[in-house]
């Protein structure tokens, strides 16, 4: 057999304007760190009457919501603070958050019962991941996807029109394993947090360069806005063509195939709306930092870069809604950087072995440390109303598994960071009397200005004390 001719994988097309990450971070770090970097603020606020009270704080600043997922739950003893209320001491795992504890609410008693086995048997990781933001029971199938619309997409539908991007879906998972995922569940459940419909997962972006180019345009600093405009110009006529083309194609398809084409058409329509929005809302401010080169070498750097870009997206009011999958539930990543070389999932079934529990707690803490660095970034950026971005945000950090060892889905480790523009009472540890996590999401949706949403997922009401 002849030798391999194909080395396309190896020769990744690198944009000539891309720099290495250190370079990028220095540039971007400067933007992120400087509160006075006023040029990045949106040109005008979207407090126009047509937008109503969508995702705005009482001071007229944008209000943002982000949902961050970490895998495999957390060691409960090391996670939960002992005291309730405002006067609590940070637990071991939560130590890295000391600096921003006044901006946190640590919620106990939130459940995700749709992730429990019931009739469906094994597959707790797929369910934990797929139900976390949807709150519905997943159809157990390798190919016949059926989840529910996720809370971030509910928000995006309602308030997405006020920003250039209705929402951002991000992930730090660059690859999928081949073969079969968790116990008969499609991999789509285990790798997607966001669903725009029960059958359409919102595939997330893992490449920081691509997220950046999507937000601000390709090319070197200074030329990006022009590039965005040019692309948009071309796309208008193309979209007209493909829309017509799709219609004639549709007539030849049978019913099962029409659902696929419908996904295509939805994409076309959303892109049209985006082009329209870009024209109405104006071009983004070029951050003038070099474009990130791609996926950084280490996991920590990758995550950090995603946090930088998310911060930038909020700062420039490019979007007010985001989800970020730090790792899929069931992730078996090894953390040799912190001296834990065993796989995370493998370790999480620790069978109460103290050594293993200690190591899992160290991984839990590592993730919390990354969260702390993200919150710090948000806290350092001054928003249009003089508050910090963090003040004007609601950042959920949580997992759909509570105790990874036993695959429990009640009393989930969930943190809500930020003050929601002053509508939340952070700086507390509050244990709810066992209510669905959906109740929290519903309370967030209210604050984001979503109307006519009586229920979401498995909600039984609003969270009374947030």
Partner 1 sequence: MSSSVKPQAVASLLAATIQPAWGAWSRARNLLVGLALLALLPSPRCSAADSAPDAALFHDEIRPILQTYCFDCHGDGAHKGNVAFDEFKSDQSVLTNRDLWFKALKNLRAGMMPPVKKPQPSPEQRQEIAQWIKSAVFCIDPANPDPGRVTVRRLNRVEYRNTIRDLMGVKYDTQSEFPPDDTGYGFDTIGDVLTISPMLLEKYLIAAQKIVDEAVPEKKEGAKPKVYGRFFPKDPPAKSKERRAYAREVLADFARKAFRRPVDEKTVNRLAALAEETYSRSGKTFESGIGEAMVAVLASPRFIFREEGTGAPSGPGGDPLVDEYALASRLSYFLWSSMPDEELMRLAAEGHLRQDLPAQMERMLKDKRSEDFVRNFTGQWLRARDIDNVQIEERDVLAREHGTNREMDKTRKRFHELERKPEDLLTKEEKQEKDDLRSSFFKRFGAPLDPGLNSELRRAMREETEDVFGYVVHEDRSLLELIDSDYTFLNERLAHQYGITNVTGKEMRRVTLPPDSQRGGVLTEGTVLAVTSNPTRTSPVKRGLFILDSILGTPPPPPPANIPPLEDAAKGLTNDAPSLRAILAAHRANALCASCHNRMDPLGLAMENFNALGLWRTNEFNQPIDGSGTLLTGESFSSVQQLKRILVEKHAKDFYRTLTEKMLTYAVGRGLDYSDVETVDQIVSRIEKANGRASALLDGIVDSAPFQKCRPAPSARPAKLPSLSFNKS
Which residues in 127-146 contact partner 1 (CB under 8 A)? 142-146
- Candidate residues 45, 95, 109, 205; the one interacting with partner 1 per rule CB under 8 A: 205
> Which one of the spans 42-50, 67-75, 118-126, 304-312 is the region binding partner 1 (CB under 8 A)?
118-126
Nearest to 344 by CA among 300, 405, 298: 405
The least distance separating partner 1 from the CB of residue 185, rounded to whole angstroms, comes to 9
Is residue 242 part of the contact set for partner 1 (CB under 8 A)? Answer: yes
Ranges within 328-387 binding partner 1 (CB under 8 A): 332-334, 336-337, 339, 341-343, 346, 349, 351-353
- Candidate residues 59, 183, 380, 431; the one interacting with partner 1 per rule CB under 8 A: 183
The least distance separating partner 1 from the CB of residue 465, rounded to whole angstroms, comes to 26
At CB < 8 A and 24+ separation, what contacts does 269-274 make?
Answer: 270/166, 271/235, 271/239, 272/239, 273/161, 274/164, 274/165, 274/166
Go through the chain and tell me how many residues it has: 466
Q: Report the distance separating Cα 297 and Cα 453, nearest Å.
A: 43
| Residue closer to partner 1, measured from CB, 145 or 466 | 145
Ranges within 211-240 binding partner 1 (CB under 8 A): 214, 231, 234-235, 237-239
| Residue closer to partner 1, measured from CB, 186 or 370 | 186
| Residue closer to partner 1, measured from CB, 181 or 305 | 181
- Across 384-427, where does the E strand assignment appear? 393-398, 414-417
- Candidate residues 17, 37, 41, 184; the one interacting with partner 1 per rule CB under 8 A: 184
Angle CA 304–78–363, to nearest 5: 35
- Candidate residues 254, 354, 355, 433; the one interacting with partner 1 per rule CB under 8 A: 254
- Candidate residues 41, 45, 225, 271; the one interacting with partner 1 per rule CB under 8 A: 271
| Residue closer to partner 1, measured from CB, 295 or 412 | 295
- Is there a contact between 128 and 112 (Cβ–Cβ < 8 Å)? yes
The least distance separating partner 1 from the CB of residue 203, rounded to whole angstroms, comes to 4
Q: Which residue has the tokens 């069931």?
A: 330
CA distances from 335 to 118, 308, 457 (A): 33, 22, 34
Burial environment of residue 351 by CB neighbours within 10 A (0 to 12, 13 to 18, 19 or more): exposed
Q: Which residue has the tokens 């401010």?
A: 285
Burial environment of residue 17 by CB neighbours within 10 A (0 to 12, 13 to 18, 19 or more): middle
The least distance separating partner 1 from the CB of residue 237, rounded to whole angstroms, comes to 6
Three-state SS annotation for 107-142: EEEEECHHHCCHHHCCCHHHHHHHHCCCCCCCCCCC
Ranges within 424-463 binding partner 1 (CB under 8 A): 452-453
Is residue 279 part of the contact set for partner 1 (CB under 8 A)? Answer: no
Ranges within 150-169 binding partner 1 (CB under 8 A): 154, 157-158, 160-161, 169
- Is there a contact between 235 and 243 (Cβ–Cβ < 8 Å)? no
Ranges within 15-54 binding partner 1 (CB under 8 A): none
| Residue closer to partner 1, measured from CB, 214 or 382 | 214
| Residue closer to partner 1, measured from CB, 202 or 396 | 202
110 bridge partner residues: 435
| Residue closer to partner 1, measured from CB, 340 or 424 | 340
- Candidate residues 196, 311, 365, 443; the one interacting with partner 1 per rule CB under 8 A: 196
Is residue 121 part of the contact set for partner 1 (CB under 8 A)? Answer: yes
Q: What is the DSSP string of 132-192?
A: TTT-SPPP--SSS------HHHHHHHHHGGGSSSS-EEEES-----SS--GGG--HHHHH-
């Amino acid at each position: 057999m002849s030798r391999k001719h194909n080395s396309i994988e190896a020769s990744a097309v690198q944009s000539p304007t891309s720099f290495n990450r250190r370079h990028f971070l220095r540039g971007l770090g400067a933007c992120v760190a400087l509160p006075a970097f006023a040029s990045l603020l949106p040109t005008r606020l979207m407090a126009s009457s047509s937008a109503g009270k969508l995702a705005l704080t009482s001071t007229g600043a944008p209000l943002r919501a982000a949902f961050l997922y970490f895998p495999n739950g957390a060691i409960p003893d090391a996670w939960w603070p002992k005291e309730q209320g405002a006067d609590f001491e940070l637990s071991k795992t939560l130590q890295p958050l000391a600096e921003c504890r006044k901006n946190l609410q640590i919620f106990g008693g939130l459940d995700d019962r749709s992730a429990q086995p019931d009739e469906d048997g094994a597959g707790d990781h797929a369910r934990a991941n797929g139900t976390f933001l949807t709150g519905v029971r997943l159809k157990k199938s390798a190919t016949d996807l059926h989840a529910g619309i996720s809370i971030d997409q509910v928000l995006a539908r309602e308030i997405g029109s006020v920003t250039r991007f209705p929402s951002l879906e991000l992930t730090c998972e660059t690859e999928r394993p081949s073969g079969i995922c968790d116990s008969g569940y499609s991999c789509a459940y285990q790798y997607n947090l966001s669903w725009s419909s029960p059958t359409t997962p919102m595939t997330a972006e893992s490449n920081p360069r691509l997220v950046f180019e999507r937000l601000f345009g390709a090319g070197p600093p200074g030329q990006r806005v022009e590039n965005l405009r040019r692309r948009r110009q071309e796309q208008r006529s193309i979209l007209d063509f493909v829309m017509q083309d799709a219609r004639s194609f549709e007539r030849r398809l049978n019913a099962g195939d029409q659902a696929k084409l419908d996904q295509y058409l939805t994409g076309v329509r959303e892109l049209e709306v985006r082009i329209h929005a870009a024209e109405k809302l104006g071009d983004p401010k070029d951050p003038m930092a070099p474009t990130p080169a791609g996926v950084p070498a280490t996991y920590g750097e990758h995550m950090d870069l995603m946090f930088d870009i998310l911060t930038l997206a909020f700062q420039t009011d490019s979007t007010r809604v985001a989800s970020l999958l730090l790792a899929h539930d069931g992730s078996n990543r090894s953390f040799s950087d912190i001296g834990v070389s065993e796989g995370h999932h493998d370790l999480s079934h620790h069978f109460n072995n103290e050594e293993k529990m200690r190591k899992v707690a160290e991984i839990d803490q590592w993730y919390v440390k990354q969260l702390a660095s993200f919150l710090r970034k948000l806290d350092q950026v001054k928003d249009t109303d003089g508050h910090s971005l963090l003040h004007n945000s609601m950042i959920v950090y949580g997992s759909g598994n509570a105790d990874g060892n036993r695959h429990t889905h009640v009393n989930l480790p969930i943190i809500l960071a930020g003050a929601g523009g002053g509508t939340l009472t952070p700086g507390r540890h509050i244990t709810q009397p066992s209510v669905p996590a959906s109740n929290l999401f519903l309370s967030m949706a209210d604050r984001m200005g979503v109307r006519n949403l009586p229920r979401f997922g498995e909600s039984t009401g609003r969270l009374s004390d947030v």
